[in-house]
Amino acid sequence: NAGVTQTPKFRVLKTGQSMTLLCAQDMNHEYMYWYRQDPGMGLRLIHYSVGEGTTAKGEVPDGYNVSRLKKQNFLLGLESAAPSQTSVYFCASSRDRVSTEAFFGQGTRLTVV
Amino acid sequence: AQKVTQAQTEISVVEKEDVTLDCVYETRDTTYYLFWYKQPPSGELVFLIRRNSFDEQNEISGRYSWNFQKSTSSFNFTITASQVVDSAVYFCALSEAYSGNTPLVFGKGTRLSVIA
């Protein structure tokens, strides 16, 4: 069973380029999340979704957009990449918001030059 | 707002030593959940344990044990007889049941290095 799958695993972008990170989960989870991980900062929530067709802002949403058109997929978009968006991005999903653990993808390492 | 503090940024121990990773949290909710995750050098995040605010029993799983104390708002993690394979970044996290809609909030992590 795949769990949470992120695509791509690595990417290098030039400043100003756009891209979409794909996240797919096969556990029928309602909740999905995008986090970024930077050295010394832990994991910070970018955006999240509480169900198909819904999205909400997290702690660091600026410069990112998301969409949840299908329950199993959660897309993270960068419209105009900046070097400050160089990070490792993790997608996660959970059955509910509070009491169940989140399952994480393997991460996407993004470098913006 | 909820907050998780892991004051230890990096810890280095010699194999077979015991080590405790500290986690202090802040919340106004009476119902909340605490989690520990492990991130080995390969990068993935692995769930270790979940504890709800009404269950203060300590938990032991093999060499791992967790001490939850509501009086000090702490949820500390101890590894007994550490091994090189325990080298990883460990994250403590908190979710609140009622205060807003914010999902899981993570501490900044503690990097544990176990030296052979």
Residue B102 clears pLDDT 80, i.e. is over it: no
Helix, strand, or coil here: B81? coil
Structure tokens at A66: 């998301």
Reported as a single tens digit per residue, the pLDDT across B70-100 is: 999 999 999 999 999 999 999 999 998 887 6
CB contact under 8 A, A42 and B108: yes
What per-residue confidence (pLDDT) applies to B100? 63
Considering only CB atoms, B33 lies closest to which of A92, A98, A103, namely A98
Q: Establish if B52 touches chain A: CB-CB under 8 angstroms.
A: yes
Reported as a single tens digit per residue, the pLDDT across B54-72 is: 988 888 889 999 999 999 9
What per-residue confidence (pLDDT) applies to B72? 95
Residues 6+ apart with CB under 8 A from A92: A4, A32, A33, A35, A102, A103, A104, A105, B45, B104
- Helix H or strand E segment including A112: strand A108-112
Min Cα separation A45/chain B (Å): 8
Tell which of A97, A106, A110 to mutate to test the B interface (max B CBs under 10 Å): A97
Reported as a single tens digit per residue, the pLDDT across B9-61 is: 999 999 999 999 999 999 989 999 999 999 999 999 999 999 999 988 888 88
**Cβ contacts of A39-43, under 8 Å, gap ≥ 24:** A40/B9, A40/B108, A41/B108, A42/B6, A42/B91, A42/B106, A42/B107, A42/B108, A42/B109, A43/A90, A43/B91, A43/B106
- Residues lower than pLDDT 50 in chain A: none
B-chain CB neighbours of A33 within 8 Å are 103-104
